[in-house]
Structure 1
Amino acid sequence: MSRPAWPGDAAPYRRTPEFTETTVPKGLLRAHATRPGTWARLHVLEGRLVFRDLVGGTEMLLGPGIHPLIHPERLHEVAAAGPVRFFVEFCARPGDCPAPT
Structure 2
Amino acid sequence: MTRSDIDLPRDAAPVRRTPSFTAASMPPALGRAHLTSVWAELVVEKGSVLFADENSRRVTVSAGSRLVIVPRVSHHIEPADDAVFHVQFYKSETGS
TM range (shorter): 0.7 to 0.9
Q: TM-score, normalised by structure 1?
A: 0.81
Larger radius of gyration: 1
Distance 1:33 1:15 in 2: 16
Deviations 1:39-84 (A, max 9, x none): 000110000111001x211211111232111111111000112211
Q: What SS class does the counterpart of residue 28 from structure 1 fall into?
A: helix
What is the aligned residue count?
91
Asked whether the 8 Å contact 2:45–2:65 carries over to 1, the reply is no
After TM superposition, the runs of 4+ consecutive aligned structure 1 residues lying more than 2 A away are: none
Q: Which residue of 2 aligns with 1:18?
A: 20
- Segments of 5+ residues of structure 1 without an aligned counterpart are 96-101
User: What is the aligned-residue identity percentage?
Assistant: 36
Query: CA RMSD of the aligned region, Å?
Result: 2.1
Structure 2 length-normalised TM: 0.85
